[in-house]
């Protein structure tokens, strides 16, 4: 687990300089970079933008599909006034595993392509001089890693990935790189929990630091007025007549933490938080004790040219589209997104189901793309996989716990839960993660079609259910869609009859739709069929009280591996990949804007 995953800030004690821009880039297909001294930096590579996935910049297929080791290198100047401070380089994401070098010295390695990690480089840097950072990255897929897949060797000697998941293996430095200078004695983390009533809210806080110290804490409202103060490493901040953070009606307070030694402030960290509670009661999802019906999307970080790079412009557009259509939530399918996404959601009052990159834990998913037919959790890779899985759950919760927008943690997408081998795996995962979130937000995973009410052996674990269902598309499609509806109702009748009194959210359903394809009467792939499929699901949702949310797949079209099931990617978006509406978006907008919040 990372020591600190606090998002970088600039103040009197902390400096944050982005190392984004052009880096030098090289493929290393035979893994000889280390022998050739690339850890010392190089200047004979390709100029590669950061943050970005390297893939779609290339015009030749070998480069776009490149699988194996690759390197980035950049020089940076470190001013003498940083001497005596803790110098760190923070990588927002490197897909999927990385080794960091500074001035030739190996600093650390990291596994996991969707979460940040920090290299402590104070002992390796030179002040008042140019320094070189190099990073060796590897983008192979394995069954014992997240997300799961295989790496194949083609007869021509090239490597290729076989992802057990349906999104392109975009690779590289997909998020910003930060050069940080922190005081030697510094705050490493903080967390909050909340009690709220109509006229009072209490923030219980807890701070960690790399030293023994005193702490002063202020809570400041949006007008800059101090709403509460406290002292000590943990304590309470009580606000009378608080303005609560509510869904689509967000209000943020700033928590300002000072680390003090001998009466002198040595560090300060401030962050925006929202005063609100989250609970599951019976089949209701409650925010501030009030029921919320989720409407929104599964999404991807995906756009043209830069692939999976975080792009503030795309995110701004996506947030506007979600507001326009009347969404109040999304799932960060199938990996934790860039921190700035959660900051947006905090400000817009949008709830997030935060998902760890545990996807592809199902051999049927592999066979969808030509794989094997066995239980995923019987595999010899499971012990190693589990270590990485729980490690990334820890880091995700550590990184995102202070966002008011985070509603719940999704610990896996569509695992194979219909076999006995899944039970010990998920028993351990749910036990080991129970205390990670001080707020104890609900934990869940998505269940796919094979994991029906009858077949899943893991229904005891989630605090609420996320169902991914595709009648009308992957089965009972086209003219047979009425049978798809009947099947869905039959399954939901079983849920209803059972003693499971927990909310069910439909976290995926949809139809691939080619924008501009119109047909009367509808056929699959036409804009008309996408609307008919959504209408069918909505009729079903409206018939069952315990369904507490609808998140069709996907907000926008996105890139996948090529194959006979995909025409230039997955087209189940309500919006195109360039974020323009399909006809179904107008249909959904009407429905969602009519539904009350607690529908
Ligand atoms: C799923 C997966 C998602 C796919 C989707 C589809 O069940 O969770 O990653 O993209 O189906 O469209 O096939």
Task: Give per-residue pLDDT as tens, 162-175.
Answer: 999 999 999 999 99
Q: Is 508 a catalytic residue?
A: yes
- Strands ordered across the beta sheet of 284-287: 278-281, 284-287, 290-291
| Model pLDDT for residues 383-428, shown as the tens digit of each residue | 999 999 999 999 999 999 999 999 999 999 999 999 999 999 999 9
Q: What pLDDT, on the 0 to 100 scale, is given for residue 368?
A: 53
How many CB atoms are closer than 10 A to CB 46? 14
Q: What pLDDT, on the 0 to 100 scale, is given for residue 517?
A: 98
Residue 578 structural domain: 279-594
Residue 169 lies in a domain: yes
Residue 388 lies in a domain: yes
105 and 223: one domain? no
How many CB atoms are closer than 10 A to CB 146? 28
Q: What pLDDT, on the 0 to 100 scale, is given for residue 365?
A: 62
**3-state class (DSSP) for residue 61:** helix
> Ligand 1 centroid to 548 CA: how many Å?
21
Map tokens 């839960």 to a residue: 417
236 and 375: one domain? no
> Ligand 1 centroid to 508 CA: how many Å?
7
257 and 397: one domain? no
209 and 151: one domain? no
- Name the nearest CA neighbour of 42 among 30, 24, 28, 27: 24
Residue 9 lies in a domain: no
110 and 225: one domain? no
The verdict on whether omega for the bond into residue 554 sits within 30 degrees of 0, i.e. cis, is yes
462 and 399: one domain? yes
- Strands ordered across the beta sheet of 15-18: 15-18, 177-182, 86-91, 117-120
93 and 142: one domain? yes
The CB-side HSE value for 319 (13 A sphere, CA atoms) comes to 20
Residue 96 lies in a domain: yes
Residue 3 lies in a domain: no
447 and 313: one domain? yes
Q: Whose CA is nearest to atom 10 of ligand 1?
A: 166
Look at residues 221, 246, 276 and tell me which one is the last residue of a structural domain: 276
Angle at 311 between CA 17 and CA 70, to 5 degrees: 75
> Ligand 1 centroid to 166 CA: how many Å?
6
Angle at 545 between CA 539 and CA 547, to 5 degrees: 70
SS (H, E, C) 412-437: EECCCCCCCCHHHHHHHHHHHCCCCC
Look at residues 251, 276, 301 and tell me which one is the last residue of a structural domain: 276
Residue 7 lies in a domain: no
Number of domains in the chain: 3
Name every protein residue with a CB atom under 6 angstroms from any ligand 1 atom.
Answer: 165-166, 334, 413-414, 448, 468, 508, 553, 570, 572
Instruction: Assign residue 54 the CATH number of its domain.
Output: 2.60.120.260
469 and 496: one domain? yes
Determine the atom of ligand 1 nearest the C-alpha atom of 368: 13
Instruction: Assign residue 384 the CATH number of its domain.
Output: 3.20.20.80
Residue 526 lies in a domain: yes
Residue 144 lies in a domain: yes
Q: What is the C-alpha separation between 2 and 115, in angstroms, rounded? A: 10
223 and 335: one domain? no
Q: Is 284 a catalytic residue?
A: no
Q: What is the C-alpha separation between 225 and 243, in angstroms, rounded? A: 13
268 and 399: one domain? no
| Long-range contacts from 122-127, C-beta under 8 angstroms, 24+ separation | 122/85, 122/86, 122/87, 122/88, 125/78, 125/87, 126/78, 127/78, 127/79, 127/80, 127/82, 127/83
Q: Which residues of 150-186 are buried (b: 16+ CB within 10 A; e: fewer)?
A: bbeeeeeeeebbbbbbbbbbbbbbbbbbbbbbbbebb
Look at residues 241, 276, 311 and tell me which one is the last residue of a structural domain: 276
Instruction: Assign residue 239 the CATH number of its domain.
Output: 2.60.40.10
Q: What is the C-alpha separation between 239 and 130, in angstroms, rounded? A: 49
169 and 256: one domain? no
Report, as ranges of residue numbers, the positions in the chain whose pLDDT lies below 70: 364-374
Q: What is the C-alpha separation between 206 and 191, in angstroms, rounded? A: 5
């Amino acid at each position: 687990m990372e020591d600190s995953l606090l998002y970088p800030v600039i103040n009197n004690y902390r400096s944050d300089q982005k190392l984004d821009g052009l880096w030098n880039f090289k493929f290393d297909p035979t893994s000889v970079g280390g022998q050739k001294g690339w850890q010392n930096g190089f200047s004979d590579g390709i100029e590669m933008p950061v943050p970005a996935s390297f893939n779609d910049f290339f015009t030749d297929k070998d480069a776009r599909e490149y699988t194996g080791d690759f390197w980035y290198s950049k020089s940076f100047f470190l001013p003498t006034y940083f001497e005596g401070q803790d110098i760190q380089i923070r990588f927002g994401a490197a897909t999927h595993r990385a080794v960091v070098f500074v001035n030739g010295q190996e600093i650390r390695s990291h596994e996991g392509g969707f979460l940040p990690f920090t290299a402590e480089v104070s002992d390796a840097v030179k002040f008042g001089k140019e320094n070189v950072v190099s990073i060796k990255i590897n983008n192979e897929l394995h069954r014992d890693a997240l997300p799961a897949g295989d790496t194949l060797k083609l007869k021509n000697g090239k490597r290729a990935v076989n992802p057990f998941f349906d999104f392109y293996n975009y690779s590289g430095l997909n998020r910003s790189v930060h050069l940080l200078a922190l005081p030697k004695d510094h705050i490493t983390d903080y967390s909050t929990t909340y009690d709220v009533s109509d006229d009072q809210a209490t923030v219980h806080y807890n701070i960690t630091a790399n030293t023994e110290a005193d702490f002063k804490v202020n809570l400041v409202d949006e007008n800059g007025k101090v709403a509460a103060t406290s002292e000590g490493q943990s304590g309470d901040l009580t606000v009378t007549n608080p303005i609560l953070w509510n869904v689509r009606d967000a209000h943020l307070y700033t928590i300002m933490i000072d680390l003090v030694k001998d009466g002198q402030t040595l560090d300060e960290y401030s962050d925006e938080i929202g005063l609100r509670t989250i609970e599951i009661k019976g089949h209701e999802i409650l925010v501030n004790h009030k029921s919320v019906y989720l409407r929104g999307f599964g999404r991807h970080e995906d756009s043209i040219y830069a692939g999976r790079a975080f792009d503030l412009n795309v995110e701004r557009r996506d947030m506007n589209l979600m507001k326009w259509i009347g969404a109040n939530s999304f799932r960060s399918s199938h990996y934790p997104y860039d921190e700035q996404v959660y900051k947006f959601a905090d400000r817009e009052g949008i709830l997030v189901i935060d998902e760890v990159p545990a996807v592809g834990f199902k051999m049927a998913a592999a066979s969808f793309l030509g794989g094997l037919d066995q239980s995923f959790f019987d595999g010899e890779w499971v012990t190693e996989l589990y270590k990485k899985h729980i490690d990334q759950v820890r880091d995700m919760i550590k990184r995102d716990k202070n966002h008011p927008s985070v509603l719940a943690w999704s610990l896996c997408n569509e695992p194979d839960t219909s076999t006995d081998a899944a039970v010990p795996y998920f028993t351990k995962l749910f036990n080991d993660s129970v205390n990670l979130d001080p707020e104890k937000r609900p934990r869940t995973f998505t269940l796919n079609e094979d994991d029906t009410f009858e077949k899943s052996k893991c229904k005891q674990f989630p605090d609420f259910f996320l169902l991914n269902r595709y009648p009308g598309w992957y089965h009972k499609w086209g003219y047979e869609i009425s049978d798809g509806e009947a099947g869905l109702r039959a399954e939901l009748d079983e849920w209803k009859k059972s003693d499971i009194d927990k909310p069910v959210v439909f976290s995926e359903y949809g139809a691939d739709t080619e924008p501009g394809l119109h047909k009367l009467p509808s056929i699959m792939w036409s804009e008309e069929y996408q609307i008919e499929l959504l209408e069918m699901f909505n009729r079903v949702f409206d018939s069952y009280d315990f369904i507490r949310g609808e998140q069709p797949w996907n907000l926008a079209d996105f890139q996948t591996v090529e194959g006979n099931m995909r025409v230039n990617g997955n087209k189940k978006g309500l919006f195109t990949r360039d974020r323009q509406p399909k006809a179904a978006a107008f249909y959904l907008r009407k429905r969602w804007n009519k539904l009350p919040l607690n529908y």
